[in-house]
Chains A and B, each alone.
Chain A
């Protein structure tokens, strides 16, 4: 049997063995460290992302006395979201939906232009995994050392190093879980409360939960998250086309791959020296030379690895590079294909993004900080009075989203000589009611309106409640109705 056919038959047996099992063992990946342009960019983005995540909760922002002093705070207990100068109420939750839509469309746009750069550079799973892998390398050594160590029987050094590694991982994970909590409660307060045992139970529960998930996902699960858990790799294919830039092995240049020096007269060989460095540095353990694939997170570390080899073998860099499928096909034929960022797909994403940004900004800028809602009494619909006039009851809610206490004048239009009285307040009716609305609060009260409308043919007539801020003059109107018996005409018999 020739050597080739022996290898083939061994491969076939292995594949059959795999096929026989319903469940697959995890292939451990030992990514090798790499230096280069891409790695530097990746470190910079990692540092930037982690700095924002860990530092942001500590940024202070003065909003006035008795107001939260944290710049970014999602205060669930008082139902307020604070983002620097912006304060959102539960009623404003659609703004959050808008922001999420914008984020989704941005992700589509970036993917159609640059492939899965989100996955490779900014996804929290990638960022923390990268950080954890760096710690692992610093403690246990690089790829070969780690492989040898794991294959050898346990010794004191290995136990100590594993202990140290997991200890540091857990510390970082704890810090990460703690920082998460700080987005929901005041950071300096909860930091103190946490250690003296005064924090609320959910604080401990969620810190523990996020400690465990960070440790488990970044330390243990790693690329399994991307390959088996995350839905994004599955539908990225819908955003990619042959004009999208992805990490690409230039097969037309590299193939046929062959080891050894390129010498005159030898059989023709491509630029790829088949050193497998691109595979050993890959955090998901794939071979980029097989083309674009599900597991590839588009991080480009293989580019750095290959460039070093190309440099050493005296060949042009960029055997693995950023490129599009269309340009690769053209290059193979010796032609030139221009870069096309503007295509129907990207234009649609850009327009959708523009519309979302304009819509959201307009909505945010024109958002009123004063709100009025009026709920008519259902029972009784109206009350006839001894003097023949009618009384209707309404429940009013005055929403004051501003940071200042407001004095408001409430009046009614469309109902001549209507008298208003706050049910629990001064029973003397008047045409205008003065209401105080505390800052950052909803004031609810019942209002009694007494009137003698000239004719209620259908038993009701429209009225407008007008709320005016006495300080700013800002006004808000609520349309409602005033009801009485059908055919009522001024209370005369």
Chain B
């Protein structure tokens, strides 16, 4: 309790009894309209209680007479946005890639849709931004197995690779080691040749003629004379600095002996054609598009 309440000489009012470094404060009453403003606020609070969801009781809560619900609001907003998106998605579905690219606004919608679709479906294997992982092609690099035009990419995404879809892209490298087509020593020789000639790990004075001969007899049909690969059959390019299963010599041996044959799902059972077109446009723009 303040004890030093004094009467101020000028105003005739009491002080509050508090003192700070010699400064005292007058005990001036609050104007009544101020008080009534507080009462009005309390009154308005009760009106809002009545109109909107407010008081909880046991199993439920007072829903308010306006029937307001945030969940309903969200549903309505989502429905509104879905309707707006449907217009663009229908357009993307019906127009050709060239027509979509000619319409900057539609292209932006497609690229955004593609980016989200990619993140949800493709990123776990192909990496953020199509950076790729061992065994999963780097889409941003553009070293395509089956072609990098928009149509090629659309076909691959729609039907997949070795996916079991009727139109899936299929390629089967013979099991040269496992099926006894090449002897282990021959596999080592051809691996030496590929690693030094195509992968670029040349060793001075190394003789790779035996491996070259085996390569010419067994591999050039698909991988090409200079290891340039063949997209018609999905044969990877070998004369490259980047390789699906890594840069080590052992991977060549392993691949010739018993090839790993990666599978990409056919997305036509999960994504609608318009969304596939959108993700195609996105993948094409990652850097590898042709």
Return the CB mask of B216-246 against A: 1 if under 8 Å, else 0. Answer: 0000000000000000000001001110000
Contact A388 B29 (CB under 8 A): no
Contact A423 B32 (CB under 8 A): no
Pick the residue among A15, A25, A385, A424 that contacts B32 (CB under 8 A).
A25
Chain A residues within 8 Å of B135, by CB: none
Pick the residue among A26, A384, A491 that contacts B141 (CB under 8 A).
A384
Chain B residues within 8 Å of A448, by CB: 287
CB distance from A284 to the nearest CB of B (A): 14
- Given the complex of chains A and B, what is the CA–CA distance between A345 and B242 in angstroms? 72
A385 touching B29 in the complex, CB below 8 Å, given contacts A23-B35, A448-B287: no
Interface hub of B130, B132, B241 (most chain A Cβ within 10 A): B241
Contact A22 B29 (CB under 8 A): yes
Contact B129 A377 (CB under 8 A): yes
Q: Does B140 count as interface, using CB distance less than 8 angstroms?
A: yes
Contact B142 A385 (CB under 8 A): yes
Q: Does B128 count as interface, using CB distance less than 8 angstroms?
A: yes
Q: Does B152 count as interface, using CB distance less than 8 angstroms?
A: no
Pick the residue among B12, B131, B138, B241 that contacts A388 (CB under 8 A).
B241
Q: Does B107 count as interface, using CB distance less than 8 angstroms?
A: yes
Chain A residues within 8 Å of B289, by CB: 427
Chain B residues within 8 Å of A24, by CB: 28-32
Contact A387 B285 (CB under 8 A): no
Contacting residues of chain B (128-175) with chain A, CB-CB under 8 angstroms:
128-132, 138, 140-143
Contact B34 A18 (CB under 8 A): no
Closest to A22 in B: B29
Contact A379 B131 (CB under 8 A): yes
Q: Does A446 count as interface, using CB distance less than 8 angstroms?
A: yes
Q: Does B57 count as interface, using CB distance less than 8 angstroms?
A: no
Contacting residues of chain B (20-79) with chain A, CB-CB under 8 angstroms:
27-35
- Given the complex of chains A and B, what is the CA–CA distance between A446 and B290 in angstroms? 16
Contacting residues of chain A (18-37) with chain B, CB-CB under 8 angstroms:
18-19, 21-26
CB distance from A218 to the nearest CB of B (A): 16
- Given the complex of chains A and B, what is the CA–CA distance between A39 and B281 in angstroms? 73
Return the CB mask of A205-229 against B: 1 if under 8 Å, else 0. Answer: 0000000000000000000100010
Q: Does A386 count as interface, using CB distance less than 8 angstroms?
A: yes
A26 touching B201 in the complex, CB below 8 Å, given contacts A19-B14, A423-B287: no
Contacting residues of chain A (357-408) with chain B, CB-CB under 8 angstroms:
377-380, 383-388, 391, 393
* Chain B interface extent, by class: 35 or more
Interface of A, secondary structure class, is loop
Chain B residues within 8 Å of A386, by CB: 141-143, 237, 240-242
Q: Does B212 count as interface, using CB distance less than 8 angstroms?
A: no
Contact B129 A423 (CB under 8 A): no
Q: Does A10 count as interface, using CB distance less than 8 angstroms?
A: no
Chain B residues within 8 Å of A391, by CB: 140-141, 287
- Given the complex of chains A and B, what is the CA–CA distance between A385 and B287 in angstroms? 10
Return the CB mask of A148-168 against B: 1 if under 8 Å, else 0. Answer: 000000000000000000000
- Given the complex of chains A and B, what is the CA–CA distance between A282 and B31 in angstroms? 20
- Given the complex of chains A and B, what is the CA–CA distance between A393 and B107 in angstroms? 19
Q: Does B125 count as interface, using CB distance less than 8 angstroms?
A: no
Return the CB mask of B93-109 against A: 1 if under 8 Å, else 0. Answer: 00000000100000100
- Given the complex of chains A and B, what is the CA–CA distance between A385 and B140 in angstroms? 9
Q: Does B286 count as interface, using CB distance less than 8 angstroms?
A: yes
- Given the complex of chains A and B, what is the CA–CA distance between A384 and B32 in angstroms? 76
Q: Does B200 count as interface, using CB distance less than 8 angstroms?
A: yes
Interface hub of B27, B240, B290 (most chain A Cβ within 10 A): B240
Q: Does A493 count as interface, using CB distance less than 8 angstroms?
A: yes
CB distance from A47 to the nearest CB of B (A): 31
CB distance from A289 to the nearest CB of B (A): 13
Pick the residue among A11, A18, A427 that contacts B29 (CB under 8 A).
A18
Contacting residues of chain A (253-297) with chain B, CB-CB under 8 angstroms:
290
CB distance from B82 to the nearest CB of A (A): 24
Chain B residues within 8 Å of A385, by CB: 141-143, 241-242
Q: Does B111 count as interface, using CB distance less than 8 angstroms?
A: yes
CB distance from A59 to the nearest CB of B (A): 35
Q: Does B259 count as interface, using CB distance less than 8 angstroms?
A: no
Chain A residues within 8 Å of B131, by CB: 379-380, 383
14 new A-B pairs (CB below 8 Å) besides A24-B30, A380-B132, A383-B141? A23-B34, A224-B31, A224-B33, A378-B128, A380-B129, A380-B130, A380-B140, A383-B138, A386-B142, A387-B240, A388-B241, A393-B140, A393-B287, A493-B201
